[in-house]
Structure 1
């Protein structure tokens, strides 16, 4: 098995565990805030139905939270097992946000999870509400620090290569924290989590109404979810635009690949609504274009240029040649550390050193690479266009679907007609998996669009792996698949069981209802 096979295996393992972990993260984000909203209503009104709602949705939150913790811990261990050189090369920067996440956010979150479940009879109403709000805060802070670490991988700022230690080291921690890519990713990801929580509550409540169960709880839950979900879905679109704009400023190849934009167009560039990108032919077949839209969105101007893939490949080739000079100077400094001319040469080209590392896929001596090897390395900077193109479009389509879904639910709730339209309730139920599909597609676009880099422009993915055998990766991958499959079955069984049992306290106060009748022609 070749070294590249080992890289692909390691990527597959990390990708599977990360995407599996992210099945639980957005629901945890969304439900934590919804619990705080519902409990605030209980504290203000004193009506027991709202306390029953908090307890019922809190059980589902707890199941999901436990699964998220279990899958998140194993995922972080992979930085040491499968990506050891990555951990060595950038551990000073990447490790700090993860450590802060554990100390500040996870411990806060875990502490208040316990108080949330065991404090109902030991804390006053306001005290328990504060606990629930702090639980939601801890959940969101956890996402913040994780996304600061990930945002740095997308846009590495506040760090510089140290010639003496041969590693990337922090030079400005404030720049790492306030990285514009990380901040835009945070608000976009958190809003997507809120949508997931709202759709979950909407779907389960719709199932209760369709089956004539827990009508009081279901109607109130749907009303809260519709209002919260509509605001969140609108935020996702707006903040997604902001995230795309920051990517357009700092990750031009990702934007060009998402749009299958092979050649640079005169400003403002058109948006490809539909097409079938052909990466080998470097063209998009069956295109349906909307003039000006891409240029206006990506640059927020009528004269801003959206650079095409071919021109970006040419720029990458220039940066590779610049990096070769820096790499050659680095080799010279290893032999003669006291060489001011070589040090000056290295400092002039250090920002392109990562591009020279792309050549290690083709030659052990990047400083002496041939033109053919340079051109091949430059082409490697283009990610897989077809899956990025369609993943992005399906994600955006689902985003507009959520707006329509929540707007409809909000209008029906405002006119007290949520339980009168069975077809709409069925749509709500069928929409249950949609936010997870959108979230997973979003992560795929973010991570696959960064390839071939682990840290954009700094460290290629194929250099980041550990020196382990492919057999070990296969064994651990198989173990993860078996473990996560078992966890998925357990999680699904627990969630279904909790939903079927329903809120027992509310059941005692509200007699069982017959399923809603089908609407008549007059309705």
Structure 2
């Protein structure tokens, strides 16, 4: 592997690891806000015990997410300085604002909520966790705007003096059509991951009314998130087809432009497909919403891009795009189906069958893998572009990097991240083993 491949690998490792904790932070924060509001409205102590427990999970996850997020943002300066230099005026404000949100807004109000239960007025205390929940979603929206610029570059112009890209409208950058489609899809996937963690912990703990409520809550969040993921993913696919037709063609390994294009459930061959099991017209429906729609093929797109951007290969890694797209969909559907089975088997206060309870503690692996595969598809199927149509990955790398430097930093990140994973898992397991309990001061301050 040369320095470019090593740097790409390092960025992938850092990004995927960081994203293990992002959807958890979002979904746990929103769940805490909902449980806190339920406690304040009903004064049912079960909600107070549950929000206390979920809040501890949120704090542990948020802390690891912030640490790994710092490294994620530093990657642009360390490994991709050429890209950061040229597009930093456009890209930089989103990273700066997201960093301030995570550190100053979310962290501050999370501390106020956790330590202020017996010190703040009830309504003000509830508002602090609502601010955290809104902050996590706003943070996701802003950082997704940065990624959406890489998928669909807008709201910029080239400075006539420096030649660098210059931001023309922050509002237009935020309202990028890719961002507006990707944001609800990201939140839906986050709901599935957070709900899966709550369901897994609840069925792993000894049976109690609190744990049964937590398990049901987690399963309903998973199921709702799965339905929303399917709907928002359908819309996102159509937007991606519009701005990056090569990505959708790569997802199907569709080499020839086809009307009424099918979608392959399975395919073999090198390159794909040689032998495939197809659903008629489904790709045309996914890409353009019509069974007879024409979907551009890889060969025609390659010829068009070569004429527009110059000689070179503009075809991404087809097997990676093909299988990551299918595994993302398949694992997400399987996770939602498991949640539906659990809810059905436990309806009317029935007990879940032992075989289901035996495997449910592993359920978070399904939506977590689906989320990661979704990002792998999103980023690898954009290759060779780092900013689509503007700059290739090769042009964005730091020019003075050496393979030894990248290997050393990658090894360091791997070791540190491995330690963080063990620490996070042991802390979550320790929290899960503790019985549900009220906070030290169960009676909050008066409402005023």
Residue 103 of structure 1 and its aligned partner are, at CA, apart by 3.1
Which residue does 2:7 correspond to in 1?
A: 10
How far does the alpha carbon of each residue in 1:457-478 deviate from its partner, in whole angstroms, 9 at most, with x for none?
1111011111222221121111
Mapped pair 1:297 → 2:286: yes
Q: Secondary structure at the match of 2:161?
A: coil
Mapped pair 1:64 → 2:61: yes
Which residue does 2:443 correspond to in 1?
A: none
Counterparts of 1:277 and 1:200 in 2: how far apart (Å)? 37
Please point out which of 166, 170, 173 is paired with 1:169.
166
Which residue does 2:383 correspond to in 1?
A: 451
Counterparts of 1:116 and 1:125 in 2: how far apart (Å)? 10
Q: Secondary structure at the match of 1:289?
A: strand
Mapped pair 1:206 → 2:138: no
The equivalences for 1:40-439 within 5 A come to 40-104=37-101, 106-208=103-205, 213=206, 215-265=208-258, 267-279=259-271, 283-321=272-310, 374=311, 377=312, 380-417=313-350, 419-439=351-371
Which residue does 1:485 correspond to in 2?
A: 418
Runs of at least 4 residues off by over 6 Å: none
8 Å contact 1:42–1:48 — kept in the other structure? yes
Residue 405 of structure 1 and its aligned partner are, at CA, apart by 2.2
Q: Which structure is larger by alpha-carbon Rg, 1 or 2?
A: 1
Counterparts of 1:108 and 1:277 in 2: how far apart (Å)? 51
8 Å contact 1:83–1:465 — kept in the other structure? yes
Change over 3 Å in CA distance of 1:105–1:476 after alignment to 2:
closer
Change over 3 Å in CA distance of 1:420–1:304 after alignment to 2:
closer
Residue 396 of structure 1 and its aligned partner are, at CA, apart by 0.5
Which residue does 1:368 correspond to in 2?
A: none
8 Å contact 2:281–2:292 — kept in the other structure? no
Which residue does 1:516 correspond to in 2?
A: none
Counterparts of 1:425 and 1:7 in 2: how far apart (Å)? 46
Counterparts of 2:337 and 2:414 in 1: how far apart (Å)? 36
Change over 3 Å in CA distance of 1:25–1:153 after alignment to 2:
same
Counterparts of 2:137 and 2:366 in 1: how far apart (Å)? 22
8 Å contact 2:320–2:380 — kept in the other structure? no
Q: Secondary structure at the match of 1:13?
A: helix
Which residue does 1:362 correspond to in 2?
A: none
Q: Secondary structure at the match of 1:164?
A: coil
Counterparts of 1:172 and 1:62 in 2: how far apart (Å)? 35
Aligned-residue RMSD, C-alpha: 1.7
8 Å contact 1:108–1:138 — kept in the other structure? yes
How far does the alpha carbon of each residue in 1:189-212 deviate from its partner, in whole angstroms, 9 at most, with x for none?
11101110001101111112xxxx
Counterparts of 2:101 and 2:79 in 1: how far apart (Å)? 27
Q: Could you tell me which runs of 5 or more consecutive residues in structure 1 were left unpaired when the two chains were aligned.
A: 322-373, 507-523
Q: Secondary structure at the match of 1:243?
A: helix
Counterparts of 1:316 and 1:301 in 2: how far apart (Å)? 25
How far does the alpha carbon of each residue in 1:380-414 deviate from its partner, in whole angstroms, 9 at most, with x for none?
21111112111111111122223322323333454
Residue 214 of structure 1 and its aligned partner are, at CA, apart by 5.1
Counterparts of 1:159 and 1:92 in 2: how far apart (Å)? 9
8 Å contact 1:260–1:277 — kept in the other structure? no
8 Å contact 1:106–1:142 — kept in the other structure? no
8 Å contact 1:277–1:385 — kept in the other structure? no
How far does the alpha carbon of each residue in 1:466-500 deviate from its partner, in whole angstroms, 9 at most, with x for none?
12222211211111111111111211221111112
Residue 313 of structure 1 and its aligned partner are, at CA, apart by 0.6
Q: Could you tell me which runs of 5 or more consecutive residues in structure 2 were left unpaired when the two chains were aligned.
A: 440-448
Residue 38 of structure 1 and its aligned partner are, at CA, apart by 1.5
Which residue does 1:19 correspond to in 2?
A: 16
Which residue does 1:517 correspond to in 2?
A: none
Mapped pair 1:501 → 2:446: no
Residue 277 of structure 1 and its aligned partner are, at CA, apart by 4.5
8 Å contact 1:83–1:464 — kept in the other structure? yes
How far does the alpha carbon of each residue in 1:331-355 deviate from its partner, in whole angstroms, 9 at most, with x for none?
xxxxxxxxxxxxxxxxxxxxxxxxx
